[in-house]
Amino acid sequence: MAPQAPRQIPVIVLAGFLGSGKTTLLNHLLGRSGGSRVGAVVNDFGSIEIDAMTVAGQVDSMVSLGNGCLCCAVDTSELDEYLERLARPSARIDVIVIEASGLAEPQELIRMILASENDRIVYGGLAEVVDAAEFGATRARHPEIDRHVAIADLVVLNKADRIGEAEQRSLLETLAELSPGTPVVPAAYGRIDPELFFDRKPRDADDEAVRQLSFEDLFREEAEAEEEDACSEHGPGCGGHGHGHRQHLHAAYESVAFESDEPMNPRRLMAFLDSRPAGLYRIKGFVHFDVPENRQKFAVHAVGDFLRFYPSPWQPDEERRTQLVLIGSGVDTAAVRKELTDCRETGPERADVNSMWGVLRYVPSTGDPDETADFAGSEEPDQSEELDQSEEPGEPEEPGKAGAA
Ligand SMILES: Nc1nc2c(ncn2[C@@H]2O[C@H](COP(=O)(O)OP(=O)(O)OP(=O)(O)O)[C@@H](O)[C@H]2O)c(=O)[nH]1
């Protein structure tokens, strides 16, 4: 009997614009992978690896590639090395998921996987996460997003809880037009059936409209793009940057990493968040407030107008410090850094318990504190209490209600 070829491990690219819910979805899959062992590669755009910290500990094997978009790496040896490590037979990994940064060009990542000489892996498809509440505005700012949807093998219309039925129908129509034949799954908190991800039905290879991208497709598309795009930066005939002249999403974005061992003053931090510049689209990280009854770790997430704090206890050996990544376009990064620095509590005076009111307005209220313990790995918080910053926030139950560390 001829020896059986070893099974190749599918490598799935999980992409989607900033804050669309990739980490939430990845954590959902990891929590429900059944007997499958999942390897994850997490690529953070900011220099503090917030996503990696959120996924770590919940995955059979996780490697993190921080600070900058993987899609721009000229040297792919780091990714190759990580894939090699995850694909070792001893790791017994069944599927590898690469969580792209929110500004990545999925096409470049696909190209890297297809170009890999590692015969233990095989490209497993692109899952594109779309933020239902933000998609219209994001597309208007970044028409490139349409292309990402067009090459996806699975589109997850996430945050479906934030829109009405009519809007969902219209978004489903738009997505079907952008990517004919591609399954589009509405979801809240990334709660899709893991089968869609790990064991997607093979597509009919003859169906051009729904066929998965091949290396040849990528080369052809790139050549077409090169022809279409005049390089405004270097003019025609420029050798490019190794991947054509398509404007990468992150070209217009900058990130600020902020860390502080001093606790943050809740009133000043809220004043900063309430008046944040419109271009500052994404904020994520953890905040340390040294306020009586509120000394837990507050995960913070801002996506456009959306703002939430999610309190959870610090681990016994965890350093109490604030770590934030702020990503935006057209933002004065020095001013942002200075404003945050001014939010630190440096004097002997400590903020009083009432100063937490502004923060607690943005903590999702739920009967089960476990539900908010981990902002990305948790089940969906009580949606009736979900707030947009654009909505009139409600009153918190009482300061300090979220419990002490
Ligand atoms: N209402 C609602 N909020 C969601 C949903 N999915 C995720 N969120 C919240 O959206 C915020 C961003 O989610 P993440 O999973 O961190 O998004 P991401 O795509 O990994 O973010 P980046 O890596 O920064 O691009 C968090 O506050 C999540 O709790 C959803 O379906 N509905």
| Dmax (CA) of the chain | 78
**Percentage of residues in the chain having pLDDT higher than 70:** 67
User: How many whole angstroms from 306 Cα to the centroid of ligand 1?
Assistant: 10
Angle at 120 between CA 114 and CA 122, to 5 degrees: 35
Instruction: Yes or no: say if 212 and 47 are a contact pair by the CB < 8 Å rule.
Output: no
Nearest CA to ligand 1 atom 26: 301
Instruction: Yes or no: say if 86 and 41 are a contact pair by the CB < 8 Å rule.
Output: yes
Looking at this protein, which amino acid is placed at residue 26?
L
Looking at this protein, which amino acid is placed at residue 51?
D
pLDDT tens readout for residues 7-19: 789 999 999 999 9
* pLDDT at residue 195 tops 80: yes
- Residue whose pair of structure tokens reads 């009111």 in the numeric block: 357
User: How many whole angstroms from 137 Cα to the centroid of ligand 1?
Assistant: 17
Helix (H, G, I), strand (E, B) or coil at 313: coil
Contacts of 266 (CB under 8 A, 6+ apart): 289, 291, 294, 351, 355, 356, 358, 359
pLDDT tens readout for residues 360-372: 999 997 644 333 4
pLDDT tens readout for residues 318-341: 999 999 999 998 899 999 999 999
58: nearest Cα among 102, 115, 97, 116: 97
Q: What is the mean pLDDT of residues 132-151?
A: 94
The question of ipTM being above 0.90 is answered as yes
- Tell me whether strands 38-43 and 121-131 are parallel, antiparallel or unpaired: unpaired
User: How many whole angstroms from 357 Cα to the centroid of ligand 1?
Assistant: 23
The ligand 1 atom nearest the CA atom of 284: 24
Instruction: Yes or no: say if 99 and 40 are a contact pair by the CB < 8 Å rule.
Output: yes
Mutate to test the pocket of ligand 1, among 14, 24, 134, 329 (most ligand atoms within 8 A of CB): 24
DSSP designation for 398: S
The ligand 1 atom nearest the CA atom of 160: 31
Q: What is the mean pLDDT of residues 161-175?
A: 96
Residue 64 Cα to chain centre, angstroms: 13
The fold for domain 9-213 equals Rossmann fold (3.40.50)
Angle between helix 106-115 and helix 215-228 axes, rounded to 10 deg: 140
Q: What would you report as the CA-atom Rg of the chain, rounded to the nearest whole angstrom?
A: 22
Pocket of ligand 1 (CB under 6 A): 16, 18-24, 51, 102, 158-159, 161-162, 188-190, 282, 284, 301, 303, 308, 375-376, 386
* Residues linked to residue 41 through DSSP beta bridges, in sequence order: 63, 98
pLDDT at position 121: 93
User: How many whole angstroms from 119 Cα to the centroid of ligand 1?
Assistant: 34
Cα gap 348→141, rounded to integer Å: 45
pLDDT at position 357: 93
Nearest CA to ligand 1 atom 27: 301
- Residue whose pair of structure tokens reads 């809007």 in the numeric block: 167
H-helix or E-strand spanning residue 282 = strand 282-288
Contacts of 80 (CB under 8 A, 6+ apart): 116, 117, 118
Where exactly are the structural domains of the chain? 9-213, 251-385
pLDDT tens readout for residues 66-121: 556 666 665 677 788 888 888 888 888 888 999 888 888 898 889 889 988 899 99
pLDDT at position 53: 67
Task: Provide the terminal-to-terminal Cα distance of the chain, rounded to the nearest Å.
Answer: 62
Nearest CA to ligand 1 atom 5: 189
Q: What is the mean pLDDT of residues 30-44?
A: 80
Most confident of the following: 116-130, 214-228, 236-250, 353-367: 116-130
Cα gap 228→394, rounded to integer Å: 51
Nearest CA to ligand 1 atom 7: 21
User: How many whole angstroms from 189 Cα to the centroid of ligand 1?
Assistant: 7
Enter the tokens of residue 350.
């400590």
The ligand 1 atom nearest the CA atom of 159: 31
User: How many whole angstroms from 53 Cα to the centroid of ligand 1?
Assistant: 15
pLDDT at position 252: 74
User: How many whole angstroms from 125 Cα to the centroid of ligand 1?
Assistant: 22
Nearest CA to ligand 1 atom 6: 189
**Percentage of residues in the chain having pLDDT higher than 90:** 41
Q: What is the CATH number of domain 251-385?
A: 3.30.1220.10
Angle at 187 between CA 182 and CA 191, to 5 degrees: 110
The ligand 1 atom nearest the CA atom of 20: 19
pLDDT at position 83: 87
pLDDT at position 37: 81
User: How many whole angstroms from 192 Cα to the centroid of ligand 1?
Assistant: 14
